[in-house]
Amino acid sequence: MLEFAQAEHTDRETLFVEVILPLAIAKNYTYRVPYELNDSVAIGKRAVVQFGKSKLYTAIIAGIGKQAPEKYEAKYLVEILDDKPVVTHEQLHFWYWLADYYMCNVGEVMSAALPSALKLASETKIMLNKDFPVDRSTLHDKEFLIVEALDIQPELTVSDIVKLLGQKQVMPILKLLFEKNVINISEEVSERYKPRKRTFITLNPFYNDPDNRRELFGILEKKAPKQADAVLAYIKLSRQQKTISKNELIEESGAGAASIKTLIEKEVFIPEEKNVSRLYFEEEEAINNFELSEQQQEALKSVSDQFAEKDVVLLHGVTSSGKTQIYIRLIEEMIQTGRQVLYLLPEIALTTHIIERLRVYFGANIGVYHSRFNDNERVEVWQKVLNNEYKVVLGARSSVFLPFNDLGLIIVDEEHETSYKQFDPAPRYNARDAAIFLANMHGGKVLLGSATPSFESYYNARTHKYGFTELSERFGGVEMPLVEIVSIAEETKKKTIQSHFTSVLIADIQQALANKEQVILFQNRRGYAPVLMCKMCAYTPKCINCDVSLTFHKSSGKLHCHYCGYKEDSPTICPACGSTHLEYKGFGTEKVEDELSLILPDARIARMDLDTTRSRNSLQTILNNLEEKKIDILVGTQMVAKGLDFADVTVIGIINADSLLKFPDYRANERSFQMLAQVSGRAGRRGKQGKVVIQTYDPGHRVIKQVIENDYKDLYFTEMTERKSFKYPPFYRLINLDIKHKDPEVLYHQAIYLAKELRKHFGDERVIGPQAPLVSRIRNFYIQSILLKFEKDAISINKAKTVIRDTITQFQTTKLSKGSIVQPDVDPY
DNA sequence: AGCACGCCGACT
DNA sequence: GTCGGCGTGCTC
């Protein structure tokens, strides 16, 4: 990779640098260093270079050499932006590894890794930073000129500024302006992270004194009994919990918001706005009660012990078992040794106040890195990590790209979360896997934590590649929910089932509603009915692009394709035979919602799926309504399974578990299991016993049994190693490809050709497809993936990559295709 | 990623 | 006869 060694040099020599450009190009380019910059060049610094006819880019110096290139005349680099490298040698190593592993260009990795403010290019947009009004008299002439121009035209590109100043060297000026907070650089219009605020109430310490308090009551009881109630309620609540929100107080006391407001004005109550989260309640409790239980202590010790031998340990802890507390102890230990810690969380979890809590705990040592932070903030974190000012970084997947010097520990929380994998632009990396490589590079350790570990991590743990530790009890005496399996077949026979709801489920829902508790119903299909079928000729409308049956949506009255979004009007007569006997088969969330409202007309029912949450704030609104108890029953798809914790949800109903159980491949089965376990884990909190009702035609199904017994640890493993009846046995790897073409015919031929090539190299049994699985994966004019069978050491994924790479290159030269080929992506599962 | 070059269809 | 579509190839 780094072909040039760092050169010893004097002023007189001509130096050449090899730079990484933030573009999807296959190789690095060499530039000539002007004499006066000889002393400034260093690996990891940013250089501004002209690439192509007129474009300027910020590149990273990846190597320095003295040899002039033979085949071409190297251009001079324009300028060096940094005094000190902004990218470390380790990072460069990491970039190259990532590019190789995920089959993309280093430039693409660079693009993903650097905050955009560090990547000034000619088309980069410059704006005034409105948050920081700056005293303009302190600006130099040229800076002033830029600021004035921005007054007239709020958005300028770097090229505009080049024209404005009549000079090529503008980057250093812009860099300075950025550092002075005068300008913003290319801030994406993405939604800014808005923490959710809630008002908390504390009693003025003045009234902690018994005499003062008595006096207060004396006055209030006569003049304002409602206010007296509020104060009493506060005192009552303060015995049970540490923090009291305004809403809780209103509810407990029966006094109105006005009374509380008056008390605040009288300075009896002191309000405080705090960021709160609706997600991950367990974290709050975890950090408030900081005594490790016996089981936690054992788990902590077990993790530490295993780190002596293993680089990675999987911590499997059921929902609410208090994994966070173990993380905190480990972080503390690591900081004491002076090494850095990276705490990875899935995107959504980061909006929580776990950040706040950890700040309290670790002070200014902790940094947060988040895609919804703006660029100024991101660059700030970058610099502080580089300067070793942050010992702990809490971040989403992109924080694996931060310039760590000495990473001792990476915690990957909710290790199974798919949001760790980046899908859309290359590099299509999984931060969990990248983290393992990263830690390894630094000689650090990785702790993977999850209540429902991913298949592959479980496998690695069971084969002793990873260490393994378990937390099987909920923390703080919270009971596991009761799980009841109800046979749909039996209730149908006894005629006790109404629509899709068994008598057991209805009874539980009614009980919950009577107790003013809430219910979540899970149905893993959106829309009204997934299939429309002609009763006469069995015709079903299919998507013109994707060849899957179209789902009927009652809300739009149309048939939708859930793969590509194609829509058409729902026919009233069969297009094939003209019959009017069309039948909706199966059911989705829309139908569940519809029919439940007939059975329970008084219940307030809401639906949460992709259709109801598409618009900007709708998800927020639904969650708020649920929390404020404006919703009694929430019907939803997988969305309801993810991290939603509400104290008053006591009943979870799984309308039809079978839709989760009959998937043909292990990976889908893994997901079903996780889904069931995650949904079930939501029932009951804070002293309330939860209940899970699973409706199924197949009560004896293994997966269901495992859920009841909470014994899924063996499930994965047995599925992987023993069961032969699965269509795709273990050790198959899904290799994600990204071959694009507008003509599905061409794609089809490419798919077949690719499979043929792979067969030639790996033998018939190892390659699945192309006909069934591979071709069915052609969607939206992409070949998305191919399945390969990997038996332990039999073939390396690298060989497969090489073959795929070669074959795909051939596509461009053979008559097979005129299509453009996008970088393939190997999914390391 | 941009951008130029070049080869084919539909227009003032 | 040209304008403009995008397929292809190159950028140090």
For chain A, how far is it from start to end, CA to CA, in angstroms? 26
Separation of A241 CA and B2 C1' (Å): 60
Quick check: A814 CB within 7 A of strand C?
Answer: no
Q: Is A564 annotated as a binding residue?
A: yes
Which nt sits closest to A73, CA to C1'? C12
Quick check: A70 CB within 7 A of strand C?
Answer: no
Provide the pLDDT for residue A766: 63
Residue A293 has which token pair? 């239980």
| Residue A2, domain member (yes or no) | no
Separation of A402 CA and B3 C1' (Å): 33
| Residue A191, domain member (yes or no) | no
Quick check: A746 CB within 7 A of strand B?
Answer: no
Closest Cα to residue A762, out of A722, A700, A804?
Answer: A804
| Residue A1, domain member (yes or no) | no
Closest Cα to residue A809, out of A757, A763, A734?
Answer: A757
Which nt sits closest to A108, CA to C1'? B1
Residues A258 and A227 in one domain: yes
Q: Does the CA dihedral A107-A111-A112-A117 come out positive or negative?
A: positive
Closest Cα to residue A811, out of A733, A715, A741, A717?
Answer: A741
Domain limit, last residue, from A139, A165, A185:
A185
Residue A687 has which token pair? 């002293």
Residues A747 and A709 in one domain: no
Q: Give kind and range of the element (H or E) at residue A707.
A: helix A702-709
Which nt sits closest to A55, CA to C1'? B2
For A156, the 3-state DSSP assignment is strand
Q: Can you tell me which residue has the tokens 């899957």?
A: A548
| Residue A24, domain member (yes or no) | yes
| Chain centroid offset of residue A28 CA | 31
Strand C contact residues in chain A (706-745), C-beta within 7 Å: 742
Separation of A783 CA and B6 C1' (Å): 30
Q: CA A571 to CA A584: how far, in whole Å?
A: 12
Single pTM value for the model: 0.74
Question: What DSSP assignment string belongs to A363-386?
Answer: GGGEEEE-TTS-HHHHHHHHHHHH
* CATH code of A381's domain: 3.40.50.300
Which nt sits closest to A23, CA to C1'? B1
**Where on strand C do bases come within 7 A of a protein Cβ?**
7-12
Residue A238: partners with Cβ closer than 8 Å, 6 or more residues away: A203, A244
Quick check: A123 CB within 7 A of strand B?
Answer: yes
Residue A144 has which token pair? 């002033």
Tens of pLDDT, residue by residue over A276-292, are: 543 333 344 444 556 88
Which nt sits closest to A823, CA to C1'? B1
* Mean pLDDT confidence for A11-35: 91
Separation of A22 CA and C3 C1' (Å): 34
Residue A778 has which token pair? 């052609």
Strand B contact residues in chain A (49-88), C-beta within 7 Å: 52-55
Quick check: A822 CB within 7 A of strand B?
Answer: no
Which nt sits closest to A123, CA to C1'? B2
Total tally of structural domains belonging to chain A: 7
Residue percentage of chain A with pLDDT more than 70: 76
Q: Give kind and range of the element (H or E) at residue A692.
A: strand A691-696
Separation of A821 CA and B7 C1' (Å): 21
List % helix, strand, coil for chain A (3-state, nearest 5): 40, 20, 40
Residue A533: count other Cβ atoms within 10 Å of its Cβ. Answer: 19
Residues A520 and A537 in one domain: no
Residue A213's domain comprises: 197-275
- CA closest to C1' of B1 belongs to A23
User: From residue A288, how far is each of A34, A57, A98, A647, A718 by CA, in Å?
Assistant: 59, 49, 39, 17, 39
Q: Is A546 annotated as a binding residue?
A: yes
Residues A173 and A216 in one domain: no
Q: CA A517 to CA A684: how far, in whole Å?
A: 10
**One-letter amino acid identity for A277?**
S
Residues A349 and A398 in one domain: yes
Separation of A52 CA and B5 C1' (Å): 15
Q: CA A45 to CA A359: how far, in whole Å?
A: 31
Residue A317: count other Cβ atoms within 10 Å of its Cβ. Answer: 25
Contact assessment for residue A145 and residue A179, using Cβ atoms and an 8 Å cutoff: no
Provide the pLDDT for residue A595: 95
Residues A426 and A560 in one domain: no
| Residue A2 binned pLDDT confidence (cut-offs 50, 70, 90) | very low
Residues A447 and A557 in one domain: no
Residues A355 and A496 in one domain: no
Residues A428 and A316 in one domain: yes
Q: CA A179 to CA A324: how far, in whole Å?
A: 36
Residues A292 and A394 in one domain: yes
Separation of A783 CA and B8 C1' (Å): 29
Separation of A812 CA and C1 C1' (Å): 35
| Residue A190, domain member (yes or no) | no
The answer to whether residue A607 scores a pLDDT higher than 90 is yes
Q: CA A102 to CA A109: how far, in whole Å?
A: 10
- CA closest to C1' of B4 belongs to A53
| Residue A725 binned pLDDT confidence (cut-offs 50, 70, 90) | very low
Separation of A47 CA and B7 C1' (Å): 39
The answer to whether residue A317 scores a pLDDT higher than 90 is no
The answer to whether residue A829 scores a pLDDT higher than 70 is no
Provide the pLDDT for residue A42: 97
Which nt sits closest to A72, CA to C1'? C12
* Mean pLDDT confidence for A632-652: 79
* CATH code of A44's domain: 3.40.1440.60
Residues A309 and A412 in one domain: yes
Which nt sits closest to A28, CA to C1'? C12
Closest Cα to residue A408, out of A341, A329, A315?
Answer: A341
Quick check: A24 CB within 7 A of strand B?
Answer: yes
Separation of A352 CA and B1 C1' (Å): 37
Bridge partner residues of A56 (DSSP): A50
| Residue A283, domain member (yes or no) | no
Domain limit, last residue, from A54, A87, A114:
A114
Bridge partner residues of A470 (DSSP): A316
Q: Is A543 annotated as a binding residue?
A: yes
| Residue A7, domain member (yes or no) | no
The answer to whether residue A797 scores a pLDDT higher than 70 is no
Q: Which residue has the higher pLDDT, A63 or A777?
A: A63
Residues A759 and A809 in one domain: yes
Contact assessment for residue A52 and residue A29, using Cβ atoms and an 8 Å cutoff: no
The answer to whether residue A116 scores a pLDDT higher than 70 is yes
Provide the pLDDT for residue A449: 95
Provide the pLDDT for residue A733: 56
Tens of pLDDT, residue by residue over A507-566, are: 999 999 999 989 989 898 899 999 999 999 989 998 775 567 899 999 999 999 886 678
Contact assessment for residue A823 and residue A105, using Cβ atoms and an 8 Å cutoff: yes
Contact assessment for residue A156 and residue A147, using Cβ atoms and an 8 Å cutoff: no
Residue A353 has which token pair? 């106040």
Question: What DSSP assignment string belongs to A398-419?
Answer: GGGGS--S-EEEEEEETTT-GG
Provide the pLDDT for residue A668: 55
Q: Can you tell me which residue has the tokens 């491949």?
A: A665
Contact assessment for residue A567 and residue A608, using Cβ atoms and an 8 Å cutoff: no
| Chain centroid offset of residue A489 CA | 38
**Where on strand B do bases come within 7 A of a protein Cβ?**
1-4
Tens of pLDDT, residue by residue over A382-423, are: 999 999 999 999 999 999 999 999 999 999 999 988 889 887
Question: What DSSP assignment string belongs to A304-335?
Answer: HHHHTT-SEEEEEE-TTS-HHHHHHHHHHHHH
| Residue A9, domain member (yes or no) | no
Q: Is A574 annotated as a binding residue?
A: yes
* Mean pLDDT confidence for A36-48: 95
The answer to whether residue A728 scores a pLDDT higher than 60 is no
Tens of pLDDT, residue by residue over A133-165, are: 778 888 888 888 888 888 888 888 888 888 888
Question: What DSSP assignment string belongs to A718-778?
Answer: HHHHT---SSB-TTEEEEEEEEE-S-HHHHHHHHHHHHHHHHHHH-GGGEE-STHHHHHTE
Q: Is A104 annotated as a binding residue?
A: no
Q: Which residue has the higher pLDDT, A690 or A679?
A: A690
Strand C contact residues in chain A (29-58), C-beta within 7 Å: 29-32, 50-52
For A231, the 3-state DSSP assignment is helix
Strand C contact residues in chain A (543-602), C-beta within 7 Å: none
Q: CA A459 to CA A468: how far, in whole Å?
A: 11
Quick check: A818 CB within 7 A of strand C?
Answer: yes
Separation of A818 CA and B6 C1' (Å): 16
Cis check for the bond before A744: say yes or no (omega within 30 of 0): no
Residue A137 has which token pair? 């008299």
Residue A186 has which token pair? 């290319």
Phi and psi for A417 in degrees, rounded to 5?
Answer: -60, 130
Separation of A53 CA and C11 C1' (Å): 8
Domain limit, last residue, from A721, A740, A755:
A721
Provide the pLDDT for residue A176: 85
Tens of pLDDT, residue by residue over A202-254, are: 888 888 888 888 888 888 888 888 888 888 888 888 877 777 888 778 877 77
Q: Can you tell me which residue has the tokens 């209030």?
A: A220
Q: Which residue has the higher pLDDT, A683 or A310?
A: A310
Residue A286: partners with Cβ closer than 8 Å, 6 or more residues away: A322, A323, A324, A325, A475
Q: Which residue has the higher pLDDT, A263 or A197?
A: A263
Residue A337 has which token pair? 């040794």
Which nt sits closest to A426, CA to C1'? B1
| Chain centroid offset of residue A788 CA | 27
